[in-house]
Amino acid sequence: MAEPEAKAKDAAAPTERSQEIGLHNLKPKPGSRKPRKRIGRGEGSTGKTSGRGHKGAGSRSGSKRKAGYEGGQNPIHMRMRKLRGPHMKKSMPFERFRTKTQPVNVGDLEDRFDAGAEVTLESLREKGLAKRSHPVKILASGDISKELAVHAHAFSEAAKQKIEAAGGSCHTLES
């Protein structure tokens, strides 16, 4: 009777070990790994010149190509402009950090609005001054003599002084 119990223990032991996961039995998924391409090993493979072409520096052993080399074409680092320094808005590639505002001059407000009018974004669009959806900045080009209540996203200091000197008011909007 001792023999059947021993056989039962021996039979249970291999199943426990086969289910046990460890570094000794980890394998990649079947089909996930391919053997490397062995070049230069006869005509059936990529043989003879092994994909290096005939003659020239690139066919010799130890040849290296410069990083960014484009085969004689003007490389991208030479095609792009060279504006350096973080203090310039134009210095970053493709102008990602350039602020987009629509300029509206004080002289245009003088020409298109009556005295005592309230200048809002909607009224600027109606008059054809702020057509795009970018924030509006009032600039000081021109003169103003009318009293206007101007609502915009930003004002230059000189524009603010001109509007307030004419008796108007400046209201800064949140963008």
**What pLDDT is stored for residue 5 in this prediction?**
60
Domain spans of the chain? 102-172
**What pLDDT is stored for residue 150 in this prediction?**
95
- Residue carrying the six token digits 């062995």: 38
> Do the beta carbons of residue 140 and residue 119 sit within 8 Å?
no
Classify strands 118-119 and 169-172 as parallel, antiparallel or unpaired.
Answer: unpaired
What fold does the segment set 102-172 form as a domain?
Ribosomal Protein L15; Chain: K; domain 2 (3.100.10)
111-117 long-range contacts (CB < 8 A, ≥24 apart) are: 113/146, 113/148, 114/146, 115/146, 115/147, 115/148, 116/146, 116/147, 116/148, 117/146, 117/148, 117/149
**What pLDDT is stored for residue 174 in this prediction?**
87
**What pLDDT is stored for residue 122 in this prediction?**
93
**What pLDDT is stored for residue 103 in this prediction?**
93
Q: Which of 157, 151, 156 is nearest to 168 (CA)?
A: 151
10-residue mean pLDDT series, the chain (175 residues): 56 59 90 91 85 88 85 87 65 61 92 91 92 91 93 95 94 87
What is the number of H-type helices and E-type strands within the chain?
A: 5, 6
**What pLDDT is stored for residue 91 in this prediction?**
53
Distance CA 58, CA 52 (A): 7
**What pLDDT is stored for residue 29 in this prediction?**
94
pTM: 0.47
Beta strands in 5-117 (DSSP E): 102-105
